Amino acid sequence: MSARAGIVVTGTEVLTGRVVDRNGPWLADRLRDLGVDLAHNVIVGDRPEDVRAALGWLASHGVDLIVTSGGLGPTEDDLTAAVVAEFQGRPMALDEALEARIWKVLEGLRARWPDLDEEAIRRSNRKQAMVPDGATVLEPVGTAPGLVVPPRDGSAPTVLVLPGPPRELQPMWRAAVETEAFGRAIAGRTTYRQHMLRMFGIPESEIAETLVRARDAGADLDALEITTCLRRGEVEVVTRYEPEAQAEYDRFEAVVRERHGDTLFSDDGSSVDEQVARLLRSSGRTIAVAESCTGGLLGGRLTELAGSSEYVLGGLIVYSDEAKVALAGVDARLIARVGAVSTEVAEALADGARSRLGADVGVGITGIAGPGGGTEDKPVGTVCFSVSSAEGRLTRRAVLPGGRFDVRDRSTTVALHLVRRLLLGEHDGP
Amino acid sequence: MSARAGIVVTGTEVLTGRVVDRNGPWLADRLRDLGVDLAHNVIVGDRPEDVRAALGWLASHGVDLIVTSGGLGPTEDDLTAAVVAEFQGRPMALDEALEARIWKVLEGLRARWPDLDEEAIRRSNRKQAMVPDGATVLEPVGTAPGLVVPPRDGSAPTVLVLPGPPRELQPMWRAAVETEAFGRAIAGRTTYRQHMLRMFGIPESEIAETLVRARDAGADLDALEITTCLRRGEVEVVTRYEPEAQAEYDRFEAVVRERHGDTLFSDDGSSVDEQVARLLRSSGRTIAVAESCTGGLLGGRLTELAGSSEYVLGGLIVYSDEAKVALAGVDARLIARVGAVSTEVAEALADGARSRLGADVGVGITGIAGPGGGTEDKPVGTVCFSVSSAEGRLTRRAVLPGGRFDVRDRSTTVALHLVRRLLLGEHDGP
């Protein structure tokens, strides 16, 4: 049995959907790295009774560790530390040395906003320096300290209290893992193995059949925890298992490779983004984009990875037809003849991006993201793509499902897959 | 008392953080629109015992309604319908008419992927047409039907079962709300009022002091549910209250206006994106961008709203210095003298975007997103902005906190606020 954990994400702004939670997923990944099994992730509002209820429920599930995020700020609705202290039966007391250390941080803040009220800052400072008796304090990255709060007796879980902002939570998690109190909480864990296979260009339902075939081929699937999902237009199959089940996993993977070899593009966890970056870097080639319906999202995605300036030169956002002509050099008569959303214009955009930026690889995207603008011939979701280099090109027309957000997001995925295949030597035509 | 609800998001891919959940936040918003109080949002893996535990916990909290998302697909790990049926004590049976309707959808899919195995598709079809006795079926948008499953006696919650893909879940939610079974579940609700105030350019801690001042001014804050949060560099204050507490809210809002009038930019829920769109549209002006460190993200954000082709002409992604010179017409000697990350280059980019695209408003962004590339003078997070029009310009240099993702994302927010202020008539200088 591995150690088990639960996550409690606090914050009415997260519960009500105004803020997307980035901490739950990140913490889930880190727990998995440690071999800790995640039972549940509960999102609760800033009401003390709701935080308490979530802690109680997870404790009743027999988890060894509860990680909370959020509710450590200076405002009155930030009450996680007090609720956890009460839950663990440990009274709160002012940690004066901590108060002084936080004050130093706040003084920096005051220099930036000289008009702030000193008395208010002192109050915030004191609130954030209140610590449950017997807790291990994690030094704040912002102004809120984290806490490792062990149970008063051995039967209850340890609670790790972390602040909400990801840039504070992440380094403080790493500090927490090093503490003795944390180590005690998750002692005696099993290590799991995990493999991810990514496919592009098949429906998720095909995987159901693959599972049946694998079972027919003698794989004991009950020894494997297999999850499949559709993400940004790709199918991901993730399998988690104990080391003893390696042979079962190998049998399963062999069936997947046999049935999906042509669409399986990643078996090492790498994303298409990382593969494109690696292929560009290793071949010393540069890339440029010309985007219409995606409006810059592909450029944004290509430059997401640190170090992308080595191979991304830039691009053209050609939202209007005038911009397609003026910036990318598309022939206005071509647009008049076949329309701005056409494979011909996508090709002209790819070539225009290459020549205008002097890049080795050019990408052109033009489509109808909706909700308006669709016709019978070219319904909403119609997107034309072309990628080109001196060696050749790949051009495609697709009708992508979903609303405006999905069509635009998925367009960037399709474009990256075309770039990948071009860099691997695939071309259209004879 | 308003009706209370809980959300159960199922899916190991969501729990383990490989997929960002978009359904929980969306459902939370919809429940609020209906005046239903959301107690908890629980994310669980694809294990039947975990889904069952989450349903049991929410039921023990006395919620009137549980909404589940996900776990209705064709693969073996999709088991929400069966678990809910068992939880509500209603046996599953094949709905043959539904099976036939789903088959029609699947036939379209087969045309797209002619190699699919027919027997496998038939099996998926049958699995998705199994329905708990007494449930109301919601017609599938994809291939998975939704379900409204009432309790066998009056004491338990009704469970609304929806599929995971947002583009299926959203229209099916709207259909669910119209059903009699759903109406019965949330009968007798209170309607809440809600106001959102958005500020840009103050730290969140300032709001703590504002709450103290409001209390001193005689506002009964206990009648208001106030939550504050920092989101993409903006501070949001959301207040929810019963209609009787209107006077208390008015008193609170007056204090906020008095203290934060200069940074309060939205009191009607509108985002800076919407305000910029409205200002451009109403003035008939067009916009173009020239982006370095953001690599197209501002263009992507400006074109997120439907209808943005009315005022977005396009832009230049000038990631390399050569692109800054060749595309935006920045003087290479200027870059050599002051560096690519400088207010002077930001101004040249804004002007270049305007002139190259023939736009009324130009935006230039250049900065160091990190993790590498920082210096003592220009640390990671240093970003220079300029927005210009025929009437004047606004130029700023900022050091933004956080990692590469945060710096790039927040840069788009700062740029939008500068555009908003320029469009409202603000300019630098004499």
Per-residue pLDDT tens for A275-317?
Answer: 999 999 999 999 999 999 999 999 999 999 999 999 999 999 9
Nearest Cα of chain B lies from the Cα of A15 at a distance, in angstroms, of 7
Contact A321, B357 (CB under 8 A): no
| Contact between chains at B50 and A40 (C-beta distance less than 8 A) | yes
Residue B302 in this model has a pLDDT that exceeds 70: yes
Rounded distance, CA A44 to CA A64, Å?
20
Residue B279 in this model has a pLDDT that exceeds 90: yes
Q: Determine which helix (DSSP H) or strand (DSSP E) holds A253, and give its type and residue range.
A: helix A246-260
Confidence grade of residue B1 (pLDDT, cut at 50, 70, 90): low
Rounded distance, CA A43 to CA A11, Å?
8
Sign of the four-CA dihedral B355, B359, B364, B369: negative
| Contact between chains at A45 and B28 (C-beta distance less than 8 A) | no
Average pLDDT over residues A57-79: 88
Q: What is the pLDDT of residues A344-363, one digit of tens each?
A: 999 999 999 999 999 999 99
Q: Which residue of A has its CA nearest to B75?
A: A208
Q: Which residue of A has its CA nearest to B224?
A: A77
Which residue carries 């290479």 as its tokens? Answer: B332
Q: Give the per-residue pLDDT at B388.
A: 98
Rounded distance, CA A156 to CA A93, Å?
22
Rounded distance, CA A52 to CA A55, Å?
5
The ipTM value here is 0.79
Between A34 and A301, the more confident residue is: A301
Mean pLDDT of chain B: 91
A residues 48-87 lying closer than 8 A (beta carbon) to B:
50, 53-54, 57, 61, 73-77
Between B275 and A403, the more confident residue is: B275
Q: What is the pLDDT of residues B24-42, one digit of tens each?
A: 989 998 998 787 888 899 9
Q: Which residue of B has its CA nearest to A208?
A: B75
Mean pLDDT of chain A: 91
Q: Give the per-residue pLDDT at B112.
A: 67
Q: Give the per-residue pLDDT at A381.
A: 95
Rounded distance, CA B412 to CA B289, Å?
11
Q: Give the per-residue pLDDT at A124.
A: 82
- The architecture of the domain spanning A193-266 is 2-Layer Sandwich (3.30)
| Contact between chains at B319 and A307 (C-beta distance less than 8 A) | no
Residue A391 in this model has a pLDDT that exceeds 80: yes
Q: Do domains B193-266 and B272-423 have the same CATH topology?
A: no
Q: Which structure tokens are listed for B108?
A: 């379209």
| Among A79-88, B150-159, B391-400, the least confident range | B150-159
| Contact between chains at A317 and B289 (C-beta distance less than 8 A) | yes
Nearest Cα of chain A lies from the Cα of B194 at a distance, in angstroms, of 12
Quote the distance between the C-alpha of residue A269 and its chain's center. Answer: 13
SS3 at position B2: coil
Residue B379 in this model has a pLDDT that exceeds 80: yes
Rounded distance, CA B45 to CA B49, Å?
9
Q: Give the per-residue pLDDT at B118.
A: 80
Per CATH, the homologous superfamily of domain A272-423 is CinA-like (3.90.950.20)
Rounded distance, CA B152 to CA B141, Å?
28
Burial of residue A374 (number of CB atoms within 10 Å: 0-12, 13-18, 19+) = middle
Residue A15 in contact with partner chain B when CB distance is under 8 A: yes
Average pLDDT over residues B71-83: 84
Q: What is the pLDDT of residues A177-226, one digit of tens each?
A: 999 999 989 886 667 788 999 999 888 778 888 888 888 888 888 889 88
Q: Which structure tokens are listed for B208?
A: 């703590």
Per CATH, the homologous superfamily of domain B4-185 is MoaB/Mog-like domain (3.40.980.10)
Q: Give the per-residue pLDDT at B12.
A: 84
Domain ranges of chain B: 4-185, 193-266, 272-423
Confidence grade of residue B189 (pLDDT, cut at 50, 70, 90): low
Residue B215 in contact with partner chain A when CB distance is under 8 A: no
Bridge partners, residue A354, by sequence: none
Rounded distance, CA B428 to CA B430, Å?
7
DSSP string, B250-317: HHHHHHHHHHHTTTEEESSS--HHHHHHHHHHHHT--EEEEESTTTTHHHHHHTSSTTGGGTEEEEEE
Residue A123 in contact with partner chain B when CB distance is under 8 A: yes
Residue B105 in contact with partner chain A when CB distance is under 8 A: no
The terminus-to-terminus CA distance of chain A in angstroms comes to 57
Q: Determine which helix (DSSP H) or strand (DSSP E) holds B158, and give its type and residue range.
A: strand B158-162
| Among A44-58, A163-177, B67-81, B272-286, the least confident range | B67-81
